């Protein structure tokens, strides 16, 4: 079976978007070239050999950090079955750097539901039943464009917002979809970094546009 680069696995409560409140196991894959200035997981950006370690050490580190390992799907699924939760959230880094169809198949055969969180800048290669959350990262330092295919595949579009130009970015992205495609998705605004001004802008715009508000509740609760 193919291998994937893993940064961390932890069990917690999903804090944002459609699955807020769901007990979840978070699988953070290593590697991201997108380059968001405000990224809070910069330790997951590089496949740096100096920080490559074993699966056991990645599991034992108990938190984030730059260490990562290559792992077999079989090894990962066997470990995931030791947790209570049966909802998997695949994140990163940018998890869509990788073809995840085999991983999704192995998870589903073992009774897990799957959600993936992606920037929308790479083709989404997951199972048909995986819930895809696209959190579009527009005009970031890495120079990647948001793909039409990712927007079309998204079950929810969760747009980070701090200022009105972010609303305009989202309008431009949604304009690339048909009315039916937009109607089939839940559209969220998520204030960046819990800033009060961003939160108020998100609230006002959600009411005006009939979009949904996504709050990073795990940050308010101070849980991972
Ligand atoms: Fe960080 Fe995600 Fe942006 Fe990558 S896409 S830089 S992991 S916020």
pLDDT of residue 30: 97
CB atoms within 10 A of CB 167: 19
Residue 187 belongs to a domain: no
- Which pTM was predicted? 0.94
Q: Could you report the per-residue pLDDT of 15-42, keeping only the tens digit for each?
A: 999 999 999 999 999 999 999 998 989 9
Q: Could you report the per-residue pLDDT of 166-184, keeping only the tens digit for each?
A: 999 999 999 999 999 999 9
pLDDT higher than 90, residue 220: no
Q: What is the whole-number distance in angstroms between the Cα of residue 36 and the centre of ligand 1?
A: 5
Top mutation candidate among 119, 146, 216 for ligand 1, by most atoms within 8 Å of CB? 119
Assign residue 100 the CATH number of its domain. Answer: 3.20.20.70
pLDDT higher than 80, residue 222: no
pLDDT of residue 139: 87
Residue 63 belongs to a domain: yes
Averaged over 56-81, what is the pLDDT? 92
* Ligand 1 atom closest to the CA of 33, numbered from 1: 4
Tokens of 209: 């546009």
By CB neighbour count within 10 A (0-12 exposed, 13-18 middle, 19+ buried), where does 154 fall? buried
Q: What is the whole-number distance in angstroms between the Cα of residue 91 and the centre of ligand 1?
A: 10
Residue 83 belongs to a domain: yes
Residue 219 belongs to a domain: no
CA dist 148 and 131 (Å) reads: 17
pLDDT of residue 9: 96
Averaged over 176-197, what is the pLDDT? 93
Residue 200 belongs to a domain: no
| Residue, of 195 and 63, whose pLDDT is higher | 195
**Which residue puts its alpha carbon closest to atom 3 of ligand 1?**
36
Residue 43 belongs to a domain: yes
Q: What is the whole-number distance in angstroms between the Cα of residue 55 and the centre of ligand 1?
A: 23
CA dist 20 and 18 (Å) reads: 6
pLDDT of residue 215: 87
pLDDT band at 218 (very low <50, low <70, confident <90, very high): confident
Structural domain of residue 153, as residue ranges? 3-160
Residue 106 belongs to a domain: yes
Q: What is the whole-number distance in angstroms between the Cα of residue 130 and the centre of ligand 1?
A: 20
pLDDT higher than 80, residue 104: yes
Residue 60 belongs to a domain: yes
Distance from chain centroid for Cα 71: 20
Structural domain count of the chain: 1
pLDDT higher than 60, residue 90: yes
* Ligand 1 atom closest to the CA of 40, numbered from 1: 1
pLDDT of residue 219: 83
């Amino acid at each position: 079976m193919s291998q994937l680069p893993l940064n961390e696995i932890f069990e917690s409560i999903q804090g944002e978007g459609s699955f807020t409140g769901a007990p979840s196991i978070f699988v953070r894959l290593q590697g991201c070239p997108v380059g968001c200035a405000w990224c809070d997981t910069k330790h997951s950006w590089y496949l740096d050999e100096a920080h490559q370690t074993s699966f056991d050490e990645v599991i034992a580190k108990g938190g984030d950090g730059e260490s990562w390992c290559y792992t077999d799907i079989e090894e990962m699924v066997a470990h995931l079955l030791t947790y209570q939760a049966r909802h998997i959230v695949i994140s990163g880094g940018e998890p869509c750097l990788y073809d995840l169809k085999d991983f999704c198949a192995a998870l589903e055969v073992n009774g897990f539901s799957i959600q993936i969180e992606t920037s929308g800048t790479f083709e989404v290669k997951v199972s048909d039943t995986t819930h895809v959350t696209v959190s579009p990262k527009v005009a970031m330092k890495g120079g990647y464009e948001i793909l039409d295919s990712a927007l079309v595949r998204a079950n929810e579009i969760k747009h980070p917002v701090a200022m009105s130009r972010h609303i305009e970015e989202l309008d431009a992205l949604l304009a690339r979809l048909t009315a039916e495609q937009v109607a089939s998705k839940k559209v969220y605004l998520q204030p960046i970094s819990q800033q009060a001004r961003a939160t108020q802008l998100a609230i006002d715009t959600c009411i005006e546009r009939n979009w949904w508000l996504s709050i990073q509740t795990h940050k308010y609760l101070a849980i991972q």
